[in-house]
Amino acid sequence: MRRLLLATLLLAALCLAAPAAQQSPRLIVIVVADQFRADYLTTFAARWRAGLRTLVTEGAVFRRAEYPYRHTDTCAGHFTIGTGTLPRTHGMVADTWWDADARRTIECTDDEKAQPVTYGLASKLGKSGRWLLVPTLADELRSQKPGARVVSVSLKSRSAIGLAGRGGDAVTWFEETAGVGSFMTSSAFTAQPVAAMKAFIERDSFEKEFGQVWTLRDPADQYRFADAGVGERPRNPRIGLFPHATKGLTDSRNDAFLLWRESPLSDAYLGRMAIALVDAFALGQRQATDFLGVGFSSTDTVGHAFGPESREIEDTIARLDDALGALIAHLDAKVGRANYVLAFSADHGVAPIPLASGGGRVAGDDVRERIDDVLTRHFGKASARWTVAGGGQPKLADGAMAKLVAQPAALSEVTRAVESIPGVDRLLRTDMLSEHSRDPMIRAAALSHMPGRSGDFVVITTPNWTMTARNGTDGTTHSSPHDYDRQVPMILLGGGIKAGRYDRATTPADIAPTLARIAQVAMPKAEGRILQEALR
Ligand SMILES: [Zn+2]
């Protein structure tokens, strides 16, 4: 209560200090590229001719933006950007976690109480921001500014909902479950398909793009990276070489949409969808402050398959530059640069392809088996398994951690068994984490930790070693606490923003409170700092 009061007083003081002429922007836009490393901005700079060019030349560019926490994945990143808080506060600690009540692993946006509302084929999977513990900027906007419209679109539910939060007028994602492959929303947002979204999908069907061929945007000799790099793992039947078909070996619709998702065609489509919704909802074109969230996903799907040093990612980002350019040009024309404020960032980066970087892969299954073996030796066979969830955050069956803590010899045996796996640097106990620790890994792990959702242990891999399932087919991945996963671009553009280069340390949790400050919306729960240095 006292914090709330303090925040309200602070906000009131800030509002009084603001120049009288300054108006609330009519539109707040957050654009997130999934798996976009900070160094892409400079590595591929020669490519920019549209949106990214506008952002780096006319925006406020924060050159030292990084996530301070360990578990760098899509759910954690988008909800951090959306809420201005860290995972240990917003609770969306990972893409999936073990649900002790349901006794199964769930996705962070799963909600069995929400009915799926489809724009195509039926789905059984309801999604919402049910597990989110704090409001997003868009949630605060809806409750504090009457008439605010909230639109958020992505191929992933955790991205669209991560930016929107618990409500919104058109919150849309793509359900990629076999046999579904359709754009969706849920009863958490609307009882019926949203007319404007339905109209867009009918007018511009993504299924018309099945069978199209992904070719290079620019002449081949302009690309920095060679085609068919070592360790690439494209989806069947693609090979490492351009051009890439958006068609499987058969006419399977399933194969086609997975290949479409793993190509820049899907980002271009999402860009067109965002533009159509700006018009349909007259976002930023009324006496109100609206919100638009756009989560581009193909940088992630292409990045997992081909890695950060591939011609494919280079071309995907070149085409994202065009999609962003079209969106910014549309906002400039319809809303006016001074009347909107746009933030661009990413949810996480990515590791270089282990095969090419001298690293390797750690199978989460191996970690799990080693823990199981030690516990079985000491305590006998478990009724099901000693570890109920594996991967980078192993979780033990109920009561097992207490047994281990009571037997220090068994506990150190677990640590030794896991740390002797090649590519594992450390195994941390989550009951020993502290965000005030002098140890940066313990600090980072604490900021990702939520008791009940996170595991009992955290695996820290050696740099350039990725953590996957034993039968994982990705070329590379993310989710580690290493620089390549934590460092992301962060750029603000538009009304109220002072263009320039900024070298003070920032985190993507600073985005929401800064945009809220510009829009004069209170965010009492936000933990990020207001980026005063870039405000007019
Ligand atoms: Zn990913």
How remote is the CA of residue 48 from the centroid of ligand 1, in Å? Answer: 24
How remote is the CA of residue 79 from the centroid of ligand 1, in Å? Answer: 15
Beta bridge partners of 105: 98
Q: Distance between CA atoms of 502 and 491, rounded to whole angstroms?
A: 10
Contact 386, 89 (CB under 8 A): no
What would the mean pLDDT of 37-58 be, rounded to a whole number?
A: 96
How remote is the CA of residue 35 from the centroid of ligand 1, in Å? Answer: 6
What DSSP string describes 135-180?
A: --HHHHHHHHSTT--EEEEESSHHHHHHHH-S--SEEEEEE-STTT
Q: According to the model, what pLDDT value does residue 21 have? A: 41
How remote is the CA of residue 476 from the centroid of ligand 1, in Å? Answer: 9
Q: According to the model, what pLDDT value does residue 11 have? A: 52
Dihedral angle computed from the Cα positions of residues 322, 327, 333 and 337, in that order, rounded to the nearest 10 degrees: -100
Residues with CB under 5 A from ligand 1 (ion): 300
Task: Output 10 or 178, whichever has higher pLDDT.
Answer: 178
Residue type, 77: G
How remote is the CA of residue 475 from the centroid of ligand 1, in Å? Answer: 11
pLDDT-derived band at 3, boundaries 50, 70, 90: low
Q: Kindly list the distances between the CA atom of residue 499 and the CA atoms of 9, 56, 101, 222, in Å, as whole numbers in the listed order.
A: 29, 9, 49, 29
Percent of the chain with pLDDT strictly greater than 70: 96
Nearest by Cα to 24 from 473, 530, 522: 522
How remote is the CA of residue 349 from the centroid of ligand 1, in Å? Answer: 9
Q: Does the pLDDT at position 347 exceed 90?
A: yes
What would the mean pLDDT of 85-103 be, rounded to a whole number?
A: 96
How remote is the CA of residue 17 from the centroid of ligand 1, in Å? Answer: 42
CA 15 vs. chain centroid, Å, equals 32
How remote is the CA of residue 468 from the centroid of ligand 1, in Å? Answer: 11
Q: According to the model, what pLDDT value does residue 383 have? A: 86
Contact 267, 303 (CB under 8 A): no
Q: Does the pLDDT at position 198 exceed 90?
A: yes
What would the mean pLDDT of 466-484 be, rounded to a whole number?
A: 95
Q: According to the model, what pLDDT value does residue 8 have? A: 54
Q: According to the model, what pLDDT value does residue 125 have? A: 87
How remote is the CA of residue 93 from the centroid of ligand 1, in Å? Answer: 15
pLDDT digits (tens, 9 = 90+) for 399-415: 999 999 999 999 999 99
Q: Kindly list the distances between the CA atom of residue 486 and the CA atoms of 37, 70, 322, 347, 356, in Å, as whole numbers in the listed order.
A: 8, 8, 25, 9, 20
How remote is the CA of residue 262 from the centroid of ligand 1, in Å? Answer: 12
Contact 28, 515 (CB under 8 A): yes
pLDDT digits (tens, 9 = 90+) for 434-453: 999 999 999 999 999 999 99
How remote is the CA of residue 21 from the centroid of ligand 1, in Å? Answer: 43
Burial class (CB in 10 A: 0-12, 13-18, 19+), 451: exposed
How remote is the CA of residue 359 from the centroid of ligand 1, in Å? Answer: 19
Q: Does the pLDDT at position 461 exceed 60?
A: yes
Handedness of CA 507, 509, 510, 515 (dihedral sign): positive
Q: Distance between CA atoms of 153 and 274, rounded to whole angstroms?
A: 7
Q: According to the model, what pLDDT value does residue 18 have? A: 42
Q: According to the model, what pLDDT value does residue 19 have? A: 42
How remote is the CA of residue 485 from the centroid of ligand 1, in Å? Answer: 10
Q: According to the model, what pLDDT value does residue 16 have? A: 45
How remote is the CA of residue 346 from the centroid of ligand 1, in Å? Answer: 11
What would the mean pLDDT of 254-275 be, rounded to a whole number?
A: 97
pLDDT-derived band at 7, boundaries 50, 70, 90: low
CA 242 vs. chain centroid, Å, equals 27
Contact 50, 314 (CB under 8 A): no
Q: According to the model, what pLDDT value does residue 17 have? A: 44
Q: Distance between CA atoms of 374 and 352, rounded to whole angstroms?
A: 33
HEC readout, 454-492: CCCEEEEECCCEEEECCCCCCCCCCCCCCHHHHECCEEE
Nearest by Cα to 187 from 113, 240, 106: 113
Q: Does the pLDDT at position 137 exceed 60?
A: yes
Q: Does the pLDDT at position 20 exceed 90?
A: no
Residue with tokens 């808080």: 85
Encoded tokens for 108: 């962070």
Q: Distance between CA atoms of 497 and 244, rounded to whole angstroms?
A: 40
**Type and span of the H or E element at 395:** strand 395-396
How remote is the CA of residue 157 from the centroid of ligand 1, in Å? Answer: 13
How remote is the CA of residue 72 from the centroid of ligand 1, in Å? Answer: 9
pLDDT digits (tens, 9 = 90+) for 375-395: 999 999 988 899 999 889 999
Encoded tokens for 140: 């605060």
How remote is the CA of residue 416 from the centroid of ligand 1, in Å? Answer: 29
How remote is the CA of residue 313 from the centroid of ligand 1, in Å? Answer: 13
What DSSP string describes 111-132?
A: -TTSPEEESSS--S--B-STT-
How remote is the CA of residue 234 from the centroid of ligand 1, in Å? Answer: 14
Output the average pLDDT for the chain.
Answer: 95
Contact 77, 348 (CB under 8 A): yes
pLDDT digits (tens, 9 = 90+) for 283-294: 999 999 999 999
Q: According to the model, what pLDDT value does residue 384 have? A: 87
Q: According to the model, what pLDDT value does residue 10 have? A: 53
Q: Does the pLDDT at position 6 exceed 80?
A: no
CA 500 vs. chain centroid, Å, equals 26
Percent of the chain with pLDDT strictly greater than 90: 92
Residue with tokens 């958490």: 188
Buried b (16+ CB within 10 A) or exposed e, 499-522: eeebeeebbbbbbbbbbbbbbbbb
Q: Distance between CA atoms of 516 and 499, rounded to whole angstroms?
A: 18
Contact 401, 456 (CB under 8 A): yes
Q: Distance between CA atoms of 72 and 70, rounded to whole angstroms?
A: 6
How remote is the CA of residue 137 from the centroid of ligand 1, in Å? Answer: 24
Contacts of 23 (CB under 8 A, 6+ apart): none
pLDDT-derived band at 4, boundaries 50, 70, 90: low
How remote is the CA of residue 478 from the centroid of ligand 1, in Å? Answer: 6
How remote is the CA of residue 506 from the centroid of ligand 1, in Å? Answer: 22
How remote is the CA of residue 75 from the centroid of ligand 1, in Å? Answer: 10
Q: Does the pLDDT at position 24 exceed 90?
A: no
> What does the DSSP 8-state code read for residue 197?
H
How many CB atoms within 10 Å of residue 15? Answer: 12
Contact 141, 92 (CB under 8 A): no
Q: According to the model, what pLDDT value does residue 23 have? A: 77
pLDDT digits (tens, 9 = 90+) for 234-252: 999 999 999 999 999 898 9
